[in-house]
Amino acid sequence: MGRWLYCSSLCTGGSFGVLGLRVVMGLAFILHGWGKVQNPTGWMPNSPIPGVLQAAAAFSEFGGGIALIAGLLTPVAATLLAVTMAVAVKFHFGQGHPFVGAGGPSYELAAVYLAAAIMFVFVGPGRFSLDAVLFGKQRAVTAHTEHA
């Protein structure tokens, strides 16, 4: 399980870059999710999306943002965020919103978040994360015993 939760292939510079993106994206999701978790089943009034899925999105955004900043269970959080953003892209696209809207609704931001979340699933959180602390040593021990 630890192999999937933490990959140590990033160099120090790459880990700093990923840390910056984790903090900015995590903070954005916390702020986007905070209002939604206040009314998790009704933040999209008159929407065809069921309340339980609205709640899943709200907690995915808020909790996923916290997990990204900490770098804790990053692939899991990023997967949940990717699913949430894929639904958001589909919703905006289905409403006829453009990719980039001049002051109006668009799916640009959801698509960027989707791409970044997919990147975190495959690249991981980097060296400066709780995943590295919790699962990095396990990975090193496993790699050492496999090559012995």
- pTM, whole model, 2 decimals? 0.85
User: Does residue 30 lie in a domain region?
Assistant: yes
pLDDT tens for each residue of 107-128: 999 999 999 999 999 999 999 9
User: Does residue 135 lie in a domain region?
Assistant: yes
Residue with tokens 């990023």: 78
User: Does residue 125 lie in a domain region?
Assistant: yes
Q: How far is 138 from 44, CA to CA, in rounded Å?
A: 43
pLDDT tens for each residue of 39-68: 999 999 988 889 999 999 999 999 999 999
- pLDDT of 7 > 50? The answer is yes
User: Does residue 62 lie in a domain region?
Assistant: yes
Give the number of domains in the chain.
Answer: 1
**The predicted structure's pLDDT at residue 103:** 84
Residue 45 region, left (φ>0) first, then alpha (ψ -120 to 50), else beta?
Answer: beta
58 vs 142, more confident: 58
Residue with tokens 């292939």: 9
User: Does residue 106 lie in a domain region?
Assistant: yes
Residue with tokens 């899991």: 76
Q: Which residue type sits at 62?
A: F
Range of the domain at 90: 10-147
User: Does residue 4 lie in a domain region?
Assistant: no
User: Does residue 16 lie in a domain region?
Assistant: yes
Specify the DSSP element, H or E, that contains 36: helix 12-38
Q: How far is 2 from 87, CA to CA, in rounded Å?
A: 28
Residue 141's pLDDT band, with cuts at 50, 70 and 90, is very low
What's CA 68's distance to the chain center, in Å?
Answer: 6
- pLDDT of 140 > 90? The answer is no
User: Does residue 27 lie in a domain region?
Assistant: yes
124 vs 137, more confident: 124
